[in-house]
């Protein structure tokens, strides 16, 4: 990461050096240095292995329970939903109830693009005086890799009840192949939409459709 | 202008000094294993693995791989940074299970005992709940 940032910073400095005035060169150099300071010395956040304040809330968003189902029914229903959504199943471990899947999708949802363009503009301001050339708006046509993992286990207290916990993360790639954004998805609506589909899928599975 | 550049340059060189020192300051293999391992007085392998999975999910990790036979779980946390962790469970003499966790932060291995202490503290709680059958 350090070398990447340095390289990118020096490329930027080089590019502007070729066409810029001495003043803009100086500004670019200082911008590059600031970028190096921020990115080069990234340290592990102190709370990375501690439960965050929102941990309990996230658990509620990510967990649903299903009654009167067998282990096979709930796993089959889950993988059917993943397939409906176009995900490729990567890993199944029945003993531990782990089911993980991924897909590559278009990231140019209108709301997301709007957000990214706003960020690009901020980016242009940050790269001081460099000017925003066309490829600064590079993120409008990128792709994202989404990964979902379901953990499906029998409830410890009630027989015939299964507990499903879904977690999701994604990496958004910019057109030039760099990581634009990486995050754990925490939007409750996204999880709800998945569980709505899973409920229907469980019903269909039980009916043998 | 020149003065500002000088100050910034100095900052860059001093700011990263810690990370280069870390290259040669690695602990011994024994020390590393000790810091990454904790033993539990139980033979309930399934319960321990279940607790590990629950703990990782609570900490914001997404499980990448899980294998009951080999008792190995790998997971990734994506925030502004990336943490990859592998947790293994081994049987030890005297009816105990040893849990070993090792993690990387972006490109660097995590060798700071505090992180592992935090991880095991969270795991202890999950383990207590699972082994006493509370979800």
Instruction: Look at residue A21 in the predicted model and tell me its pLDDT.
Output: 47
Interface contact A96, partner B, CB < 8 A: yes
Task: Write the residue in A30, A98, A156 that is nearest to B63 by C-beta.
Answer: A98
Close Cβ partners of A197 (under 8 Å, ≥ 6 residues apart): A81, A84, A85
Which of B8, B55, B71 is the best mutation test for A, with the most CBs of A within 10 A?
Answer: B8
d(CA A72, CA A77): 8
**Ramachandran angles phi, psi of A33, nearest 5°:** -65, -40
Interface contact A147, partner B, CB < 8 A: yes
d(CA A124, CA A112): 18
Percent of chain B with pLDDT over 70: 77
d(CA A12, CA A31): 10
Contact A33 B5 (CB under 8 A): yes
pLDDT class for A108, splitting at 50, 70, 90?
A: confident
Q: Check pLDDT > 80 for residue A27.
A: no
Average pLDDT over residues A82-109: 92
d(CA B8, CA A201): 58
Two tokens, residue A194: 């998945």
What Rg do the C-alpha atoms of chain A give, in angstroms?
23
Residues of B in contact with A184 (CB under 8 A): 60, 62, 77-79
Q: Check pLDDT > 60 for residue A40.
A: no
Q: Check pLDDT > 60 for residue A115.
A: no
Strands annotated E in chain A: 63-67, 88-93, 98-106, 143-154, 161-173, 179-184
pLDDT class for A177, splitting at 50, 70, 90?
A: confident
Average pLDDT over residues A65-87: 93
- Interface confidence, given as ipTM, is 0.76
Q: Is the Cβ–Cβ distance between A188 and A134 less than 8 Å? A: no
Contact A30 B5 (CB under 8 A): yes
Contact A2 B16 (CB under 8 A): yes
Torsion of CA B98, B128, B78, A125, to 10 degrees: -130
pLDDT top residue among B63 and B4: B63
Task: Write the residue in A44, A165, A169 that is nearest to B115 by C-beta.
Answer: A44
Q: Is the Cβ–Cβ distance between A5 and A40 less than 8 Å? A: yes
Tens of pLDDT along B11-68?
555 555 556 665 555 557 788 889 999 999 999 999 999 999 999 999 999 999 999 9
Torsion of CA A34, A39, A40, A45, to 10 degrees: 130
Average pLDDT over residues A190-202: 96
Close Cβ partners of A6 (under 8 Å, ≥ 6 residues apart): A36, A40
| pTM beyond 0.80, yes or no | no
Of the listed ranges A96-100, A169-173, B28-32, B130-134, the least confidently predicted one is B130-134
Instruction: Look at residue A78 in the predicted model and tell me its pLDDT.
Output: 95
Q: Check pLDDT > 90 for residue A77.
A: yes
Instruction: Look at residue B11 in the predicted model and tell me its pLDDT.
Output: 54
Mean per-residue pLDDT over chain A, rounded: 77
């Amino acid at each position: 990461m350090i070398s990447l940032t340095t390289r990118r910073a020096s490329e930027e400095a080089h590019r502007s050096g070729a066409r810029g005035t001495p003043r803009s060169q100086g500004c670019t150099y200082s911008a590059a240095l600031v970028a190096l300071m921020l990115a080069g010395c990234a340290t592990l956040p102190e709370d990375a292995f501690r439960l965050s304040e929102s941990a309990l809330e996230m658990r509620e968003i990510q967990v649903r329970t299903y009654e009167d189902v067998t282990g096979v029914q709930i796993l089959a229903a889950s993988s059917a939903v993943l397939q409906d959504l176009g995900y490729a199943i990567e890993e199944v471990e029945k003993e531990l109830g782990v089911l993980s899947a991924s897909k590559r999708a278009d990231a140019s949802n209108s709301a997301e693009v709007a957000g990214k363009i706003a960020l690009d503009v901020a980016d242009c301001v940050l790269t001081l005086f460099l000017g925003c050339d066309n490829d600064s708006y590079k993120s409008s046509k990128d792709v994202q890799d989404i990964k979902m993992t379901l953990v499906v286990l029998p409830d410890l207290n009630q027989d015939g009840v299964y507990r499903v916990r879904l977690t999701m993360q994604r990496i958004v790639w910019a057109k030039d192949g760099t990581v634009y954004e990486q995050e754990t998805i925490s939007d409750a609506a996204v999880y709800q939409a998945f569980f709505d589909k899973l409920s229907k899928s469980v019903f269909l599975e039980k009916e043998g459709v | 202008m020149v003065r500002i550049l000088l100050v910034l340059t100095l900052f860059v060189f001093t700011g990263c000094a810690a990370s280069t020192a870390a290259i040669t300051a690695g602990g011994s293999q024994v020390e590393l294993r000790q810091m990454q391992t904790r033993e539990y007085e139980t033979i309930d392998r399934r319960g321990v693995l279940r607790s590990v999975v629950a703990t990782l999910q609570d900490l914001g990790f997404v499980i990448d791989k899980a294998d009951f036979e080999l008792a190995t779980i790998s997971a990734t946390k994506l925030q502004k940074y990336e943490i990859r962790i592998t947790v293994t469970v081994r049987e030890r003499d005297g009816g105990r299970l040893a849990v070993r966790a090792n993690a990387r932060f972006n490109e660097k291995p995590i060798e700071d005992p505090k992180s592992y202490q935090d991880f095991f503290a969270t795991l202890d709680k999950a383990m207590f709940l699972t082994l006493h059958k509370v979800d």
